[in-house]
A and B are shown apart, each in its own frame.
Chain A
Amino acid sequence: MKFSIPNLKTEDKPIVIASAFILVILAVGTAYTLSTQGSAPLLSPGYLLQQLQTGSFLGIVAAGMMVVILLGHIDLSVAWTMTAAAMMATTVGGEMAIPVGIAIGASVGLVNGFGVAYLRVPSMIFTLGVDSVLRGLMVAHTGGFAPQDAATPLMRTLAASKTLGIPNAIFVWLVISVIIAVMLKRTAFGREIYVTGNREVAAYLSGIRTRRVILGSFIVSGICAAMAGVMLAGYSARAYQGMGNAFLLPAIAAVVIGGTRILGGQGRYIGTLIGVILIVLLNSVLSIMQMPEAGRQVIYGSVIICMLLVYGRGNRVHS
């Protein structure tokens, strides 16, 4: 495969490539269903909306993850932040369920941010440690069994109901997307994230409070993960052990496929949106094609690596 896209900013190239790849996935999937079943369910609005609904949980996690990756850091604690937020929300129940869940996420972010920004522990290690601590705490909280508490009606409504035929989860994802996109593009905090992610020393010497920026970004990531956890609990009607485990790697992959530089400083939010859609569709098409789990994993991983190889060409930042 050879791509040549003239007159395109390096930042936008991954976005175009990923969008094109989404079309490829849809085309391949449709060709498959046409030849085997004689119909094209992939292109029906119902199917696409359902995919977006499934994708919204991943999308919300990825939105927060992107903010942290823009700083050149990473948040490996999202899986158990999701679970912890969901479990505490269902435990508390009632009107306070969602606020408690989000508060859990914010506190996890605060701890992560404090460790990375003030204690200067590499984020990869610190957030991994926090993830493990959270897992321990949740096992202690539930005694290792599936919790019996059910999701509140509001959680159910947000995650599983529809308005005007469109799943509410998509609206929540949309609102969070708009908030994150505006924050990155139009607020001083957002610009400071990019500046700090590009070169922390220069940002600090420009009088930017870089430690606060890092702290704030981890809080954003924690809140997003918590929100996704609460929604997922609403969707499944309850919280369960390890419910967030399937989200960590896809969230990172979505951000990176969307063109955010893993070392920080570059990336557009629209790219992350497209990255999420790509991953969700890829998964879904592979399962429609009745690919066995093993083959799915191999293809899924190879696609991520290949896309990054394609982006990498001529994209080296000289410093």
Chain B
Amino acid sequence: MPIDVPIVKLTGASKHFSGTRALEGVDFLCRTGTIHGILGENGAGKSTLIKILSGVLQPDAGTVEVNGETVRFSNPTQAAAAGIVCIFQELSLVPDLSVADNISISAPPRKFGLIDRRAQHRRAEELLAQIKCEDVDPNSLVRELSLSRRQMVEIAKALGKDPKVLILDEATSALTSRDVETVYGLLADLKAQNVASLFISHRMQEIEKLCDTLSVFRNGQHIETFAKGAHSEGEIVKLMIGREVTAHYPPKPAPAEKPEYLKIDRLAWEGQLKGIDLCVGKGEIVGLGGLDGQGQKELLLGLFGVLRGLDGDIAINGQPCHPASPAQAKSAAMRIALVPEDRKTEGLMLAMSIADNLLAASYDRISDGPFINPDKARQAVAEGIAKLQIKVASPDDIVSTLSGGNQQKVVIAKWLMTDPDVILLNDPTRGIDVGTKQEIYKLIRQLADRGKTILLYSSDYAELIGCCDRVVVMYDGEIVSKLSGDAITEEAIVAASLNVGTQASTAAAGAHHG
């Protein structure tokens, strides 16, 4: 095989969806033994590109070549047979099947025509070992695993198909930092085995660290492909969004003592929360850090009244309160809002209109008695859309037609309509584009400036460092470190997340709320 034949080559590929163009005349190529990063805002055409490569969609025009031969995949199975395997952004696992079943789902090992369970189990163990997930039991149900573990199973499943081109679409966005490191190592191994990896991520550092070739997409067009280092980070961002980006995060105000607003005392729940003590001031942004699944999500859900059998005390503005349901949590007495982890299943009614989604939490505000006042409803929707600058053609459009970033804005706008005092955010920028992320950072700061109390969980440390006045790091259901001011550094957060406790973090913890 001549070395300069690219493993994958697209020529003049175009794809249109009912009038809007998703890809327009894209020429793109990828070589073996590279880790190729694909950058672009949501809606830039990245997802369409990989869907074409992996056989989910067929291009309207243009050709796809694999190893110099023109191919036309009509489904992902054909693409997988040609060695192109994709790990999709939306998880494709069956929750009620075991890990081993899921990994071998498309081609289970057989014996006498029946599935050979033992071989399947062995295979799952091998693949999981390859990505250092020995702790995942191949017999456990996918439903029981955390989001991060599920994503790793997804990766194991893809590896099981013996890929020549591995496509990772936001595959690391749900991973804990330890798993992310494992994936990095894996990609390096695959590179050594001459496998090409296409890597799509919204996290710039990841791409910088990992990829050797970068391609930027914007508005369905391929802007530029270059070797890593050819452009600075600022230049890349400029290429992606077509405009200059001045600062990543809005400036933080000088640290000041904020009046105590939300007080959590010895909060405990079923061994997953072990006596959380935390105070959040009025107008303060407190970040929750730590590895995935250390109780951060439970803490937020507990505050929002979702968990049964919660022990401990919660007080808002000095008033003890025990929300027993989200309906109570959002009531006038507490005014709590939660932007949930997974916007597609927990935040939105995907098949409903933007207006219906925006109004879902505020029917009491737009109704006269039992009847909805259409004028108030229209006004509320218009205000919500304007406040977050959601890009919509019409509020009656179905919400799933929006890009990920705009969908998340709908979820946030829905809650801002209820005029909450305490805002709980569970990873609000996961899987959304840089431009929208920055708007959300700015919004969070504005809300804090207006006296809202904000608790922000993020799996992205940079976000915690950039956005928060204070950061508390959780480990195994406990707060192991409280950082503030200049003590909020990546090093301190990572150390505390792994519960190794460096000098700096313990000192900072001692200085504050000791």
**Cβ of A202: which chain B residues have Cβ within 8 Å of it?**
340, 345-349, 360
Scan residues 194-230 of chain A and give those whose CB is less than 8 A from a CB of chain B: 194-195, 198-199, 201-209
Scan residues 289-319 of chain A and give those whose CB is less than 8 A from a CB of chain B: 317-319
* Among A189, A206, A209, A319, contact of B350 (Cβ-Cβ < 8 Å): A319
Distance of A177 from chain B, by nearest CB (Å): 18
Q: Are B360 and A203 in contact (CB under 8 A)?
A: yes
Q: Are A265 and B370 in contact (CB under 8 A)?
A: no
Of B150-158, B321-329, B495-503, the one contacting chain A is: B321-329
Q: Which one of A194, A201, A206, A319 has the highest number of Cβ atoms from chain B below 10 Å of its Cβ?
A: A206
Query: How many of A's residues come within 8 Å of B, CB to CB?
Result: 24
**Cβ of B374: which chain A residues have Cβ within 8 Å of it?**
186
B129 at the interface (CB under 8 A from A): no
A266 at the interface (CB under 8 A from B): yes
Scan residues 279-319 of chain B and give those whose CB is less than 8 A from a CB of chain A: 304, 306
Distance of B308 from chain A, by nearest CB (Å): 13
Number of inter-chain CB pairs below 8 Å: 86
**Cβ of A141: which chain B residues have Cβ within 8 Å of it?**
none
Q: Which one of B329, B346, B352 has the highest number of Cβ atoms from chain A below 10 Å of its Cβ?
A: B352
Scan residues 174-200 of chain A and give those whose CB is less than 8 A from a CB of chain B: 186-189, 191-192, 194-195, 198-199
* Among B306, B363, B371, contact of A205 (Cβ-Cβ < 8 Å): B306
B75 at the interface (CB under 8 A from A): no
Distance of B92 from chain A, by nearest CB (Å): 13
Q: Are A209 and B327 in contact (CB under 8 A)?
A: yes
* Among A191, A209, A318, contact of B325 (Cβ-Cβ < 8 Å): A209
- Encoded as 1 (CB less than 8 Å from any A CB) or 0, chain B from 326 to 355 comes to 110110000000101000111111111000
Query: How many of B's residues come within 8 Å of A, CB to CB?
Result: 32
B170 at the interface (CB under 8 A from A): no
**Cβ of B345: which chain A residues have Cβ within 8 Å of it?**
199, 201-202, 319
* Among A194, A198, A205, A265, contact of B326 (Cβ-Cβ < 8 Å): A205
Knowing A203-B360, A208-B327, the reply to whether A195 touches B371 (Cβ < 8 A) is: no
**Cβ of B347: which chain A residues have Cβ within 8 Å of it?**
202, 205
**Cβ of B306: which chain A residues have Cβ within 8 Å of it?**
204-205
Knowing A188-B372, A201-B345, the reply to whether A207 touches B356 (Cβ < 8 A) is: no
Knowing A186-B372, A207-B326, the reply to whether A195 touches B351 (Cβ < 8 A) is: no
**Cβ of A189: which chain B residues have Cβ within 8 Å of it?**
370
Q: Are A188 and B370 in contact (CB under 8 A)?
A: yes
Distance of B4 from chain A, by nearest CB (Å): 40
Q: Are A191 and B372 in contact (CB under 8 A)?
A: yes
B359 at the interface (CB under 8 A from A): yes
B364 at the interface (CB under 8 A from A): yes
Q: Are B360 and A208 in contact (CB under 8 A)?
A: yes
**Cβ of B56: which chain A residues have Cβ within 8 Å of it?**
none
A307 CA to B329 CA, complexed, in Å: 45
B67 at the interface (CB under 8 A from A): no
Q: Are A187 and B351 in contact (CB under 8 A)?
A: no
With CB as the reference atom, state the residue of chain A lying closest to B351. A317
A319 CA to B350 CA, complexed, in Å: 7
Q: Are B330 and A205 in contact (CB under 8 A)?
A: no
Q: Are B360 and A206 in contact (CB under 8 A)?
A: yes
B506 at the interface (CB under 8 A from A): no
**Cβ of A188: which chain B residues have Cβ within 8 Å of it?**
363-364, 367, 370-372
With CB as the reference atom, state the residue of chain B lying closest to A199. B349
Scan residues 257-285 of chain A and give those whose CB is less than 8 A from a CB of chain B: 265-266
B504 at the interface (CB under 8 A from A): no
With CB as the reference atom, state the residue of chain B lying closest to A185. B372
Distance of A175 from chain B, by nearest CB (Å): 18
With CB as the reference atom, state the residue of chain A lying closest to B344. A319
With CB as the reference atom, state the residue of chain B lying closest to A266. B351
A30 CA to B414 CA, complexed, in Å: 53
B361 at the interface (CB under 8 A from A): yes
A215 CA to B304 CA, complexed, in Å: 23
Q: Are A191 and B363 in contact (CB under 8 A)?
A: yes
**Cβ of B326: which chain A residues have Cβ within 8 Å of it?**
204-208
With CB as the reference atom, state the residue of chain A lying closest to B339. A205
Q: Are A194 and B361 in contact (CB under 8 A)?
A: no
Q: Which one of A198, A202, A203 has the highest number of Cβ atoms from chain B below 10 Å of its Cβ?
A: A202
Knowing A204-B326, A206-B326, the reply to whether A187 touches B348 (Cβ < 8 A) is: no
Q: Are A207 and B350 in contact (CB under 8 A)?
A: no
**Cβ of A205: which chain B residues have Cβ within 8 Å of it?**
304, 306, 326, 338, 340, 346-347
Q: Are B330 and A191 in contact (CB under 8 A)?
A: no
**Cβ of A195: which chain B residues have Cβ within 8 Å of it?**
349, 352, 356, 360
- Encoded as 1 (CB less than 8 Å from any B CB) or 0, chain A from 23 to 50 comes to 0000000000000000000000000000
B400 at the interface (CB under 8 A from A): yes
Q: Are B370 and A187 in contact (CB under 8 A)?
A: yes
- Encoded as 1 (CB less than 8 Å from any A CB) or 0, chain B from 421 to 452 comes to 00000000000000000000000000000000
Scan residues 233-268 of chain A and give those whose CB is less than 8 A from a CB of chain B: 265-266
* Among B327, B344, B361, B371, contact of A187 (Cβ-Cβ < 8 Å): B371
Q: Which one of A188, A189, A265 has the highest number of Cβ atoms from chain B below 10 Å of its Cβ?
A: A188
A244 CA to B142 CA, complexed, in Å: 45
**Cβ of B367: which chain A residues have Cβ within 8 Å of it?**
187-188
With CB as the reference atom, state the residue of chain B lying closest to A10. B398
A203 CA to B326 CA, complexed, in Å: 10
Distance of B371 from chain A, by nearest CB (Å): 5
Distance of A90 from chain B, by nearest CB (Å): 33
**Cβ of A266: which chain B residues have Cβ within 8 Å of it?**
351
Distance of B194 from chain A, by nearest CB (Å): 36
**Cβ of A207: which chain B residues have Cβ within 8 Å of it?**
325-327, 329-330, 361, 418
**Cβ of A317: which chain B residues have Cβ within 8 Å of it?**
350-351
A286 CA to B483 CA, complexed, in Å: 78
Distance of A132 from chain B, by nearest CB (Å): 30
**Cβ of B356: which chain A residues have Cβ within 8 Å of it?**
191, 194-195
With CB as the reference atom, state the residue of chain B lying closest to A198. B349
Distance of A315 from chain B, by nearest CB (Å): 11
With CB as the reference atom, state the residue of chain B lying closest to A197. B349
Scan residues 365-423 of chain B and give those whose CB is less than 8 A from a CB of chain A: 367, 370-372, 374, 400, 414, 418
A98 CA to B106 CA, complexed, in Å: 60
6 closest A-B pairs (Cβ-Cβ)? A188-B363, A198-B349, A207-B330, A206-B361, A207-B326, A206-B360
> Told that A186-B371, A204-B325 touch, could you supply 13 new A-B pairs with CB distance under 8 A?
A188-B370, A191-B359, A191-B372, A202-B345, A202-B346, A202-B347, A202-B360, A203-B360, A205-B326, A207-B327, A317-B350, A318-B400, A319-B344
